[in-house]
Every structure is written in structure tokens, then in C-alpha cells.
């Protein structure tokens, strides 16, 4: 079976967890005997290359910039970018050419930034069965239902108008897959994919396994940790503010990850403290061996953040926001705790509670590792996708 995967970016350009999951899926699908090809964007002339045995066609993005990198674009350029992305006919032509050249049996569409909903017209014109995989809320809102550092409780009028073509054309595909119940139900609640015959959830999986980590935490300290992109929507300032309010001589906070250069500098300056260690980009093992608990303080709708089950893999509990798909992963008292990032003092309360229960949490390491297994069954995950490919290609809609 020939399968064409489409996403805004592909390795080695990693914009977030979606690109990591996509690479695992593409390589796994290839290993199962399918002929695969990836179509993605970059900001140079078109180029076809082989990445880890996978054919990747990188088209020059038909927009004012590539949404990737550490530099935040000026407001007017960002606004123009989103206007062009309402419906981009040039993106459609790029997809049509790849369909003609590669002749795929199935098209697997992931993040549509830069492609716009014109991509659904392209697959419809050639009558190629397509699967839309939902990794975020971009189809509802250009800023993923997050504006002025606050989640949007509902779709505003501007977004309704900008995303009307997406809603109207969303039934041009054969299947829609959410990486969490939250994200699938969110899109369906707004009337998207109404006539799509297959609607299902396939939780993400990664090529991870339960590992034995040599604990390097200093038992004299309570070692809190954050790992991820340093960005406002990730709630890093919610954590830093809470930590400053309750910090004690026996507290440490490890912050791993990187973000836009100006925002990184701002964080390091405003929240400077000898007990806060900014680690930069590090290997997960180098982070998790140093912490007693991972904080996931997102203030936007996370859908299925990999950092949660990655933490579980190392036997480390998670204190996570109770919004988006995080509650589908964290079981209160079993592998972590939930808090309301918009409720004043709630995170502080959970951090202090963790300190009082730290011995109990350390004893739950094996139980926590077990809760990661549903997200680590890589072969089972690929089999779910294989079954969906067969269902979609044969037209056996149930």
C-alpha cells in the first residue's frame, strides 16, 4: 500500500511532539511493508531527500515564512501569514502534483499549518481516501484557542469566519483521528467532520521502554522539575511564580528546554534564583534522574503531551494541569496530581502537598511506570493504524 504523509514539518525540523510522533508513525508504517512518502514544508527551494530510509519531499512554503525557529515574527507578518492560510490554492497545487506523481492509496494528513484546508479539496478531487489526524486545535483557531495568555472558552467570531472554509470542507475526508478524546470531541462539538464516516481516538505512542534510572537526586532536597518548550502557553511562569511564593531552603527547581530567545532571557532574568537551574536542551534521562516530580503547568489545551507518559516511564509522578487531554493521563493519587492553573494558589498547594508525601511517591515508582505502558505499546499502536489503513482503503465503513 502506498501512503503519503503530509505535515507542516518533518525531521530534522521538529516543532513539537507532533513531529516526533509522526516520525515514529512513518518509520513504523514503512517497517510494516508499506511504501511511504512524506510531504512537508521548508523555506528553501523544493527538494526531495532520504531521511532515515524515508523519502521526504520538502516544498518551499507558499507563505511569508516557515513557522519554525527561535525568532518570533512581527505582528503584521503573523497576521498576513494567517490570512494566506485561510485557503491557500498554491498549497493545493503542491499536493495535487504529489498525488499525481506518487499515486498514493491513502493520504495521512497531520498538522495543516501552511497547507490550509485546500489540502482537503486536493484529496477530494482525486478521490484518494484521507485520514485527518488531530494533534492540536489549529483547525478551530489560528492560535489554538489561546489568546493573551488565556485559554479561549469558545470560538470567537473572527475565528468562526476564518475557519468557516475548514468547517465546510472537513467532511471531504474518510476518517478523523484524535490523539485524545478531548481533541476529537472538541472539534466534533463545533460541527467539524460531521459527515466523516470514521471517527476514532488513537492515543500516541513512542519508542520508549521502562528504564532503570540511577537516581542522582540529593535526598536533602525536594527536586521539582519542568521539561518542555519555554513558552507562555506551557505555563512555565505559572510554575515559576508558584515556586517563588513557597520556596524553602530544601527546594530545587530544574527547568529543561528552550524557547524563543527573548522569552528565555526574560525568564532567566525575572525569576533568577540560585535554587532554579535552567538546564537548556538536555536528554530526557539527564533531566529525569535529577527530579522527584515533573510539573506540567500548561495554561492552554494540551492534547496528549508526551512529557507526561515519558515522566511515568522513569517512575516519576506528574503534577499536571486539569485541562485538555492531561486528565486522560494523570490518575489522582496513583501517578500524580491535577491542579487548576487558573485557580490562585492551587499549584502552590499541590507542590506543598507533594513535599509532605514525597516518601510515599518515591515508593510508588513501579506503579507509576506501569501506568505508562498503555502509551508505550509501540507495536500495538502501529497495529491500530494498520487496521485503520485497511478499513479506509477498502471502504469498509462501520
d(CA 268, CA 276): 9
pLDDT digits 0-9 by tens, 363-382: 999 999 999 988 989 999 99
d(CA 6, CA 29): 14
Please give the pLDDT value at position 211: 56
As a whole number, mean pLDDT of residues 99-111 equals: 97
Q: Are 267 and 236 in contact (CB under 8 A)?
A: yes
Output the CA–CA distances (angstroms, integers) from residue 125 to 81, 121, 196, 311, in the order listed: 26, 6, 16, 44
Quickly name the fold that domain 2-205+377-394 has: Rossmann fold (3.40.50)
pLDDT digits 0-9 by tens, 148-163: 889 999 999 999 999 9
3-state secondary structure 273-313: CCCEEEEECCCHHHHHCCCCEEEECCCCCCCCCHHHHHHHH
d(CA 177, CA 131): 7
CA-angle at 285, arms to 300 and 377, nearest 5°: 70
The values of phi and psi at residue 368, to 5°, are -65, -40
Q: Does residue 130 have a cis bond before it (omega within 30 degrees)?
A: no
DSSP code, position 171: G
As a whole number, mean pLDDT of residues 207-219 equals: 65
Average pLDDT of the chain is 94
- Quick one: cell of 223? 527536586
CATH code for the domain defined by 222-375: 3.40.50.2000
Total residue count of the chain as it appears in this document: 398
CA 294, chain centre distance (Å): 17
Q: For residue 131, which of 170, 97, 99, 189 has the smallest C-alpha distance?
A: 170
How much of the chain, in percent, has pLDDT values that exceed 90? Answer: 89
Strand partners, 108: 5, 131
Please give the pLDDT value at position 398: 37
Output the CA–CA distances (angstroms, integers) from residue 212 to 44, 215, 254, 306, 313, in the order listed: 43, 9, 20, 19, 9
- Quick one: cell of 139? 483547525
d(CA 322, CA 347): 11
Q: For residue 111, which of 207, 236, 230, 20 has the smallest C-alpha distance?
A: 20
Please give the pLDDT value at position 218: 76
pLDDT digits 0-9 by tens, 259-296: 988 999 999 999 999 999 999 999 999 999 999 999 99
Q: What confidence category does residue 16 fall into, taking pLDDT thresholds of 50, 70 and 90?
A: confident
As a whole number, mean pLDDT of residues 112-138 equals: 97
As a whole number, mean pLDDT of residues 238-261 equals: 96
Please give the pLDDT value at position 209: 52
Check whether 228 has a pLDDT greater than 80: yes
d(CA 132, CA 107): 9
* Interstrand relation of 318-321 and 336-339 (parallel, antiparallel or unpaired): parallel
CATH 3.40.50.2000 domain range(s) in the chain: 2-205+377-394, 222-375
d(CA 218, CA 208): 26
d(CA 138, CA 233): 14
Please give the pLDDT value at position 215: 67
Q: What confidence category does residue 320 fall into, taking pLDDT thresholds of 50, 70 and 90?
A: very high
Please give the pLDDT value at position 62: 97
Residue entry with cell 526574560 = 266
Strand partners, 259: 230
- Say which range, 92-96, 185-189, 198-202, 309-313, has the weakest mean pLDDT: 309-313
Output the CA–CA distances (angstroms, integers) from residue 87 to 82, 84, 92, 99, 379, in the order listed: 10, 7, 9, 19, 37
Q: Are 44 and 65 in contact (CB under 8 A)?
A: no
d(CA 236, CA 227): 9
* Cβ neighbours for 14, distance < 8 A, ≥ 6 positions apart: 20
How much of the chain, in percent, has pLDDT values that exceed 70? Answer: 97
Amino acid at each position: 500500500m502506498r501512503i503519503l504523509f503530509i505535515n507542516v514539518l518533518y525531521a530534522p525540523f521538529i516543532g513539537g511532539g507532533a513531529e516526533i510522533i509522526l516520525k515514529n508513525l512513518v518509520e513504523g508504517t514503512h517497517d510494516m511493508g508499506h511504501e511511504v512518502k512524506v510531504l512537508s514544508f521548508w523555506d528553501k527551494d523544493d527538494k526531495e531527500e532520504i531521511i532515515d530510509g524515508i523519502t521526504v519531499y520538502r516544498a518551499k512554503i507558499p507563505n511569508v515564512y516557515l513557522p519554525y525557529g527561535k525568532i518570533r515574527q512581527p505582528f503584521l507578518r503573523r497576521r498576513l501569514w494567517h490570512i494566506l492560510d485561510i485557503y491557500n490554492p498554491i498549497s493545493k497545487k503542491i499536493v495535487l502534483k504529489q498525488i499525481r506523481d506518487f499515486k498514493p492509496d491513502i493520504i495521512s494528513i497531520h498538522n495543516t499549518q501552511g497547507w490550509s484546508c485546500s489540502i482537503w479539496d486536493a484529496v477530494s478531487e482525486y478521490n484518494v481516501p484521507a485520514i485527518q489526524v488531530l494533534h492540536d486545535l489549529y483547525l478551530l483557531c489560528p492560535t489554538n484557542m489561546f489568546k493573551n495568555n488565556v485559554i479561549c472558552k469558545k470560538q470567537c467570531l473572527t475565528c468562526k469566519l476564518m475557519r468557516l472554509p475548514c468547517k465546510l470542507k472537513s467532511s471531504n475526508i474518510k476518517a478523523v483521528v484524535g490523539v485524545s478524546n478531548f481533541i476529537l470531541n472538541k472539534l466534533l462539538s463545533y460541527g467539524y467532520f460531521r459527515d466523516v464516516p470514521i471517527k476514532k481516538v488513537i492515543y500516541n505512542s513512542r519508542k520508549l521502554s521502562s528504564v532503570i534510572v540511577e537516581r542522582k537526586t540529593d535526598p536533602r532536597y525536594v527536586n521539582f522539575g519542568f521539561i518542555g518548550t519555554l513558552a507562555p502557553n506551557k505555563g512555565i511562569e505559572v510554575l515559576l511564580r508558584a515556586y517563588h511564593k513557597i520556596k524553602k531552603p530544601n527546594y530545587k527547581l530544574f527547568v529543561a528546554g528552550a524557547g524563543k530567545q527573548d522569552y528565555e532571557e526574560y525568564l532567566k532574568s525575572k525569576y533568577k534564583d540560585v535554587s532554579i537551574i535552567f538546564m537548556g536542551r538536555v536528554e530526557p534521562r539527564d533531566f529525569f534522574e535529577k527530579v522527584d516530580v515533573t510539573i506540567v503547568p500548561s495554561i492552554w489545551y494540551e492534547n496528549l503531551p508526551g512529557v507526561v507518559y515519558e515522566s511515568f516511564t522513569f517512575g516519576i509522578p506528574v503534577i499536571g494541569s486539569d485541562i485538555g487531554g492531561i486528565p486522560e493521563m494523570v490518575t489522582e493519587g496513583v501517578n500524580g496530581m491535577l491542579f487548576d492553573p487558573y485557580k490562585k494558589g492551587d499549584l502552590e498547594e499541590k507542590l506543598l502537598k507533594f513535599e509532605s508525601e514525597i516518601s510515599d511517591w518515591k515508593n510508588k515508582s513501579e506503579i507509576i511506570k506501569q501506568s505508562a505502558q498503555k502509551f508505550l505499546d509501540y507495536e500495538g499502536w502501529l497495529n491500530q493504524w494498520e487496521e485503520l489503513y485497511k478499513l479506509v482503503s477498502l471502504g469498509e465503513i462501520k
